[in-house]
């Protein structure tokens, strides 16, 4: 029987997600409402009348020419990528009708991020590789991908070959490892079959000491409400100035709160660390099914010594654990292992949790209309 693709309602899409262990929060129907400037629709994959897959497509119209757009499925779609439930269907059976649909919608290019893990490295393996930078007679690995993985997926490698043979083009990572729109390398903690005490014991000595220091210093962590987003945003703007990135407006986070919590109360949580009656740091966490993501974080420079960021991570991990989540996801890391790299500190911070680094298949593009795609690429490069 041939697969077909058609638009489904947001409620149909949500019902599909409830039947899954988890999907990326970027594939929630309500996420499309968060992304101002994009048009969103939910697609369903059908075998006959049976819904067997779903995905959120975001369309970015060409300025002044809304009939043409870039179609983007962030960390999606949610289909049988590795042919486990439907071994008789090849990957092109799933993707060809999606491409046809997007072309009919006026898309000149489709970008997708298959949620398929390719390799995994334990924290100890990464720490061993980092340690080699202190050994004078050893040539240390410069990147995570230079280190032999503790686990790899043959099926994912086969999928990569299939996509390439069908005309899909893989995004090329830059030197920092951030070639994709969404991170290719992430750091996660497995919460399954472990007590909170065991999870805490899995942190390195510095992490455990910093969490205890925050508590002894009087740092108090609590859940915030929508009105507290303004406090989060003030610290977030300070963080952006310090770390040299462009901050999002407060209205973005308010929209994120309203959309994610409007459908599923408590899906997005705000965690605030206060020290001496002021906000020292704050974070946002998203939960879908058995997966929890650390989404945004902000901290003051003045309060860094009382370690509010470690206290916040521990608070989010405990909430994820008590909510039945199996994975706590600290999101993106660079694949650098060079201590002189400005992104090394973030890797080192997350490795301290004792979890594992995971590489995903990355983002892939399919060109439907080459002239429009080239023109749009030129326009984006000129914008910087």
What phi-psi label fits residue 154: left (phi over 0), alpha (psi between -120 and 50 degrees) or beta?
alpha
**Phi/psi-derived region of residue 217, left when phi > 0, alpha when psi is between -120 and 50, beta in every other case:** alpha
Helix count and strand count (H, E) for the chain: 12, 16
* Residue 38: CB atoms within 10 Å: 18
pLDDT > 90: what percent of the chain? 90
Query: Do 272 and 334 meet the contact criterion of CB atoms below 8 Å apart?
Result: no
Q: CA 206: distance to chain centroid?
A: 26
Measured between its terminal Cα atoms, the distance across the chain in Å is 46
Residues of the chain short of pLDDT 70, as ranges, are 136-137, 172-180, 383-384
Number of other residues whose CB lies within 10 A of the CB of residue 89: 18
Average model confidence (pLDDT) for the chain? 94
Query: Which has the closest alpha carbon to 312: 263, 264, 279?
Result: 279
- DSSP-derived 3-state class of residue 159: helix
Give, as one character, the DSSP assignment of residue 358: E
What residues are paired with 299 via a beta bridge? 281
Q: Say what the pLDDT of residue 172 is.
A: 67
What is the rounded distance in angstroms from the CA atom of residue 191 to the CA atom of residue 329? 10
pLDDT at 262: 97
The pLDDT, as a whole number, for residue 177 is 36
Q: Regarding beta strands 356-360 and 364-367, do their DSSP bridges make them parallel or antiparallel, or are they unpaired?
A: unpaired
Give the model confidence (pLDDT) of 194-250 as tens digits. Answer: 999 999 999 999 999 999 999 999 999 999 999 999 999 999 999 999 999 999 999
Rounded CA-CA distance 330/285 in Å is 10
pLDDT at site 175: 37
pLDDT score recorded for residue 209? 98
Architecture of domain 3-113+363-383: 3-Layer(aba) Sandwich (3.40)
Q: Which H or E run includes 200?
A: helix 196-201
- Residues 150 and 120: beta-carbon distance below 8 Å: yes
Q: Do domains 3-113+363-383 and 117-360 have the same CATH topology?
A: yes
Alpha carbon distance 178, 176 (integer Å):
6
**Listed residue (21, 357, 355, 356) closest to 198, CA to CA:** 355
Cα separation of 51 and 9, whole Å?
A: 12
Give pLDDT tens digits for 119-141: 999 999 999 999 999 886 678 99
Q: What confidence score (pLDDT) does residue 229 get? A: 98
pLDDT digits (tens, 9 = 90+) for 157-191: 999 999 999 999 997 654 333 345 899 999 999 99
State the pLDDT at residue 179: 42
Q: Name which of 12, 33, 19 is nearest 261 in CA terms.
A: 33
Q: Please give the pLDDT value at position 384.
A: 55
CA distance 210 to 218: 12
**Cβ contacts of residue 65 below 8 Å, gap of 6+?**
none
The per-residue pLDDT for 181 is 86
pLDDT at position 180 is 52
> Do 44 and 17 touch, CB atoms closer than 8 A?
no
Nearest to residue 115, comparing CAs of 35, 39, 56?
56
DSSP 342-381: TTHHHHHHHHTTT-EEEEE---EEEESSHHHHHHHHHHHH
pTM of the model: 0.95
Element (H, E) at 130: helix 123-131
Token digits of residue 124:
């100890």
- CATH code linked to domain 117-360: 3.40.630.30
Residue 222 burial class via C-beta count within 10 angstroms: exposed 0-12, middle 13-18, buried 19 and up: exposed
H or E segment and range at residue 346: helix 344-351
Nearest Cα residue to 283 out of 296, 273, 266, 301: 296
3-class state of residue 108 by DSSP:
strand
* Residue extents of the structural domains in the chain: 3-113+363-383, 117-360
């Amino acid at each position: 029987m041939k697969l077909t693709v058609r638009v489904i309602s947001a409620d149909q899409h949500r019902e599909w997600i409830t039947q899954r262990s988890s999907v990326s929060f970027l594939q929630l129907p309500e996420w499309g409402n968060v992304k101002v400037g994009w048009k969103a629709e939910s697609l369903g994959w059908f075998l006959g009348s049976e819904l067997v897959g779903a995905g959120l497509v975001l369309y970015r119209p060409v300025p002044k020419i809304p009939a043409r757009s870039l179609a983007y499925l962030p960390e999606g779609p949610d289909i049988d990528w590795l042919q486990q439930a439907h071994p008789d269907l090849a990957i092109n059976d799933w993707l060809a009708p999606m491409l046809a649909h997007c072309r009919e919608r006026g898309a000149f290019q489709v970008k997708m991020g298959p949620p398929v893990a390719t390799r995994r490295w334990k924290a100890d393996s990464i720490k061993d590789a980092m340690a080699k930078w202190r050994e004078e007679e050893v040539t240390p690995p410069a990147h995570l991908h230079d280190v032999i993985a503790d686990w790899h997926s043959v099926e994912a490698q086969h999928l990569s070959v299939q996509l390439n043979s069908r005309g899909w083009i893989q995004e090329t990572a830059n030197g920092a490892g951030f070639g994709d729109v969404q991170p290719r390398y992430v750091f996660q903690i497995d919460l399954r079959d472990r007590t909170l005490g065991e999870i805490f014991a899995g942190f390195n000595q510095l992490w455990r000491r910093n969490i205890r220091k925050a508590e002894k210093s009087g740092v108090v962590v609590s859940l915030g409400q929508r009105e507290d987003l303004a406090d989060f945003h003030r610290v977030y703007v300070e963080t952006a100035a310090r770390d040299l990135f462009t901050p999002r407006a407060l209205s973005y986070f308010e929209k994120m709160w309203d959309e994610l919590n409007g459908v599923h109360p408590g899906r997005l949580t705000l965690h605030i660390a206060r020290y001496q009656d002021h906000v020292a740091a704050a974070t946002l966490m998203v939960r879908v099914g058995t997966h929890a993501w650390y989404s945004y974080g902000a901290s003051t420079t003045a309060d860094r010594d009382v370690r509010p960021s470690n206290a916040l991570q521990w608070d989010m991990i405990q909430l994820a654990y008590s909510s039945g989540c199996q994975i706590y996801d600290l999101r993106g890391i660079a694949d650098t292992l060079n201590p002189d790299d400005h992104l090394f500190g973030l890797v080192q911070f997350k490795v301290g949790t004792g979890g594992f680094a995971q590489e995903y298949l990355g983002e892939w593009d399919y060109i439907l209309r080459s002239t429009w795609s080239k023109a749009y690429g030129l326009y984006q490069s000129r914008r910087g």
